[in-house]
Chain A
Amino acid sequence: MSDMKIMVGVKRVIDYNVRVQVKSDGSGVVTDGVKMSINPFDEIALEEALRLKEAGKAAEVIAVSVGPSQAQEQLRTALAMGADRGILVTTAEQPQPLAVAKIFAALYAKEQPGLVILGKQAIDDDAGQVPQMLAGLLDVAQATNASKVELEGESARVTREIDTGIEVIEIRLPAVLSVDLRLNEPRYVKLPDIMKAKKKPIETIDAQALGVERLTFLRVIKTSTPPARQGGHKVGSVEELVQELKQRGFV
Chain B
Amino acid sequence: MFQEPPQSHTVLLGEALQSSAAQVTALLQVAGMGEYLAADLTAAVLDQAQRFASEKLAPLRRSGDESGCRMGPQGVETPAGWPQAYQDLVSAEWLALGFPEAMGGQGLPWPLACAVHELLAKANMAFALSGILTNGACHLLQAFGSPAVKERYLPRLVTGRWSGTMCLTEPQAGSDLRLVRALVRQDQQGNWRLWGTKIFISYGEHDLTENIVHLVLARQEGAGEGHAGLGVYLVPRFLEQDQVAEGQGSGPTDSRKANAVRCTRLENKMGLHGSPTCELLFDGAWCIPLTQPGDGLAVMFSMMNLERLLVAVQALGVAQGAMEQAWDYAMTRCQGRASHATEGAAPIVEHADVQRMLRHMEILVGGCRMLLLQAAWMLEVADHAPQEAARHKARARFELLVPVVKSFVTDAAIDVADTAIQVWGGQGYIRDNGIEQYLRDVRVTAIYEGTNGIQAMDLVRRKIARDKGAVVRALLDDVDRDISTTSPVENGIRKGVSVLQDWIAAMGDALGQGKGFVVEYCAADLLRSLGALLACAGWARLATDAGAASRVRLLANEAQLTWIPLIAASHERFKSLLAQGSL
Using a CB–CB distance below 8 Å, which chain A residues touch chain B?
15, 17-19, 21, 32-35, 37, 72-73, 76-77, 80, 188-192, 194-195, 197-198, 231
Contact yes or no, A76 B41, CB < 8 A? yes
Question: Which residue in chain B gives the minimum CB-CB distance to A190?
Answer: B92
Chain B residues with CB below 8 A from A188, complex form: 48, 51-52, 55-56, 88, 92
Contact yes or no, B7 A189, CB < 8 A? no
- 23 example contacts (A-B, Cβ-Cβ < 8 A) are as follows A19-B4, A32-B548, A33-B7, A33-B549, A34-B8, A34-B11, A37-B47, A73-B43, A76-B43, A80-B48, A188-B51, A188-B52, A188-B56, A189-B44, A189-B48, A190-B93, A191-B94, A191-B97, A192-B106, A194-B41, A194-B44, A195-B41, A195-B106
Across the interface, A21 reaches (CB within 8 A) one of B4, B48, B92, B96, namely B4
Chain A residues with CB below 8 A from B10, complex form: 35
Contact yes or no, B96 A77, CB < 8 A? no
Chain A residues with CB below 8 A from B52, complex form: 188
Across the interface, A35 reaches (CB within 8 A) one of B7, B40, B106, B344, namely B7
Chain B residues with CB below 8 A from A197, complex form: 44
Chain A residues with CB below 8 A from B5, complex form: 19
Contact yes or no, A194 B48, CB < 8 A? yes
Contact yes or no, A17 B8, CB < 8 A? yes
In the bound complex, how far is the Cα of B4 from the Cα of A34, in angstroms?
A: 13
Contact yes or no, B93 A192, CB < 8 A? yes
Is B26 at the interface (CB under 8 A from chain A)? no
Per-residue interface assignment for chain B, residues 13 to 30, with 1 indicating a CB less than 8 Å from any chain A CB and 0 otherwise: 001000000000000000
Contact yes or no, A77 B549, CB < 8 A? no
CB distance from B324 to the nearest CB of A (A): 10
Across the interface, B93 reaches (CB within 8 A) one of A33, A191, A198, namely A191
In the bound complex, how far is the Cα of B47 from the Cα of A25, in angstroms?
A: 31
Chain B residues with CB below 8 A from A17, complex form: 8
> 19 extra interchain contacts, Cβ-Cβ under 8 A, other than A191-B45, A191-B106?
A17-B8, A19-B4, A33-B15, A33-B548, A37-B47, A73-B39, A73-B40, A76-B41, A76-B43, A188-B48, A188-B51, A188-B88, A189-B44, A189-B51, A190-B93, A191-B48, A191-B97, A192-B93, A194-B45
Given the known interface contacts A15-B8, A34-B11, A35-B7, the answer about A73 and B92 at a Cβ–Cβ threshold of 8 Å is no
Contact yes or no, B11 A33, CB < 8 A? yes
Contact yes or no, B41 A198, CB < 8 A? yes
Given the known interface contacts A72-B40, A188-B92, A192-B93, the answer about A77 and B8 at a Cβ–Cβ threshold of 8 Å is no
Contact yes or no, B48 A198, CB < 8 A? no
In the bound complex, how far is the Cα of B61 from the Cα of A43, in angstroms?
A: 27
In the bound complex, how far is the Cα of B8 from the Cα of A73, in angstroms?
A: 17
In the bound complex, how far is the Cα of B88 from the Cα of A35, in angstroms?
A: 25
Contact yes or no, B41 A77, CB < 8 A? no
Q: How many residues of B contact A (CB 8 A)?
A: 31
Question: Which residue in chain A gives the minimum CB-CB distance to B38?
Answer: A198
Is B562 at the interface (CB under 8 A from chain A)? no
Question: Which residue in chain B gives the minimum CB-CB distance to A81?
Answer: B48
Chain A residues with CB below 8 A from B8, complex form: 15, 17-18, 34-35
CB distance from A225 to the nearest CB of B (A): 13
CB distance from B106 to the nearest CB of A (A): 6
CB distance from A70 to the nearest CB of B (A): 8
CB distance from B547 to the nearest CB of A (A): 10
Which residues 432-470 of B have a CB within 8 angstroms of A? none
In the bound complex, how far is the Cα of B18 from the Cα of A33, in angstroms?
A: 14
CB distance from B91 to the nearest CB of A (A): 7
In the bound complex, how far is the Cα of B157 from the Cα of A137, in angstroms?
A: 55
In the bound complex, how far is the Cα of B106 from the Cα of A198, in angstroms?
A: 13
Question: Which residue in chain B gives the minimum CB-CB distance to A17?
Answer: B8
In the bound complex, how far is the Cα of B583 from the Cα of A5, in angstroms?
A: 80
In the bound complex, how far is the Cα of B106 from the Cα of A132, in angstroms?
A: 43
Question: Which residue in chain B gives the minimum CB-CB distance to A70?
Answer: B40
Chain B residues with CB below 8 A from A15, complex form: 8
Chain A residues with CB below 8 A from B548, complex form: 32-33
In the bound complex, how far is the Cα of B43 from the Cα of A197, in angstroms?
A: 13
In the bound complex, how far is the Cα of B97 from the Cα of A35, in angstroms?
A: 23
**Smallest CB-CB A-B distances: 4 pairs:** A189-B48, A191-B93, A35-B8, A190-B92
Which residues 213-257 of B have a CB within 8 angstroms of A? none
CB distance from A20 to the nearest CB of B (A): 11
In the bound complex, how far is the Cα of B44 from the Cα of A73, in angstroms?
A: 7
Per-residue interface assignment for chain B, residues 331 to 356, with 1 indicating a CB less than 8 Å from any chain A CB and 0 otherwise: 00000000000001000000000000
Chain A residues with CB below 8 A from B56, complex form: 188
Contact yes or no, A34 B94, CB < 8 A? no
Chain B residues with CB below 8 A from A72, complex form: 40
Chain A residues with CB below 8 A from B15, complex form: 33
Contact yes or no, A231 B344, CB < 8 A? yes
CB distance from B178 to the nearest CB of A (A): 41
In the bound complex, how far is the Cα of B335 from the Cα of A122, in angstroms?
A: 36
CB distance from A84 to the nearest CB of B (A): 17
Chain B residues with CB below 8 A from A21, complex form: 4
CB distance from A65 to the nearest CB of B (A): 12
Contact yes or no, B93 A77, CB < 8 A? no
Chain A residues with CB below 8 A from B7, complex form: 33-35
Contact yes or no, B92 A76, CB < 8 A? no
Question: Which residue in chain A gives the minimum CB-CB distance to B8?
Answer: A35
Given the known interface contacts A189-B48, A192-B106, A198-B38, the answer about A35 and B11 at a Cβ–Cβ threshold of 8 Å is yes
Chain A residues with CB below 8 A from B344, complex form: 231
CB distance from B153 to the nearest CB of A (A): 20
CB distance from A75 to the nearest CB of B (A): 9
Chain B residues with CB below 8 A from A77, complex form: 44, 47-48
Given the known interface contacts A32-B548, A80-B48, A231-B344, the answer about A190 and B41 at a Cβ–Cβ threshold of 8 Å is no
Chain A residues with CB below 8 A from B44, complex form: 73, 76-77, 80, 189, 194, 197
In the bound complex, how far is the Cα of B11 from the Cα of A189, in angstroms?
A: 19
Contact yes or no, B92 A191, CB < 8 A? yes
CB distance from A107 to the nearest CB of B (A): 22
In the bound complex, how far is the Cα of B93 from the Cα of A180, in angstroms?
A: 30
Chain B residues with CB below 8 A from A35, complex form: 7-8, 10-11
CB distance from A197 to the nearest CB of B (A): 7
A189, A191, A192, A231 — which one has the most chain B CB atoms within 10 A of its CB? Answer: A191
Question: Which residue in chain B gives the minimum CB-CB distance to A78?
Answer: B44
Question: Which residue in chain B gives the minimum CB-CB distance to A30?
Answer: B4
CB distance from B332 to the nearest CB of A (A): 11
In the bound complex, how far is the Cα of B43 from the Cα of A188, in angstroms?
A: 15
In the bound complex, how far is the Cα of B548 from the Cα of A76, in angstroms?
A: 27
In the bound complex, how far is the Cα of B10 from the Cα of A77, in angstroms?
A: 15
Chain A residues with CB below 8 A from B11, complex form: 33-35
In the bound complex, how far is the Cα of B40 from the Cα of A192, in angstroms?
A: 15
CB distance from B60 to the nearest CB of A (A): 15
CB distance from A145 to the nearest CB of B (A): 25
CB distance from A13 to the nearest CB of B (A): 13
CB distance from B406 to the nearest CB of A (A): 27
Per-residue interface assignment for chain B, residues 282 to 317, with 1 indicating a CB less than 8 Å from any chain A CB and 0 otherwise: 000000000000000000000000000000000000
In the bound complex, how far is the Cα of B44 from the Cα of A195, in angstroms?
A: 10
In the bound complex, how far is the Cα of B46 from the Cα of A76, in angstroms?
A: 13
Chain B residues with CB below 8 A from A192, complex form: 93, 106
Given the known interface contacts A15-B8, A21-B4, A35-B7, the answer about A189 and B92 at a Cβ–Cβ threshold of 8 Å is yes
Question: Which residue in chain A gives the minimum CB-CB distance to B15?
Answer: A33
In the bound complex, how far is the Cα of B44 from the Cα of A198, in angstroms?
A: 10
CB distance from A166 to the nearest CB of B (A): 27
In the bound complex, how far is the Cα of B210 from the Cα of A173, in angstroms?
A: 48
In the bound complex, how far is the Cα of B532 from the Cα of A195, in angstroms?
A: 36
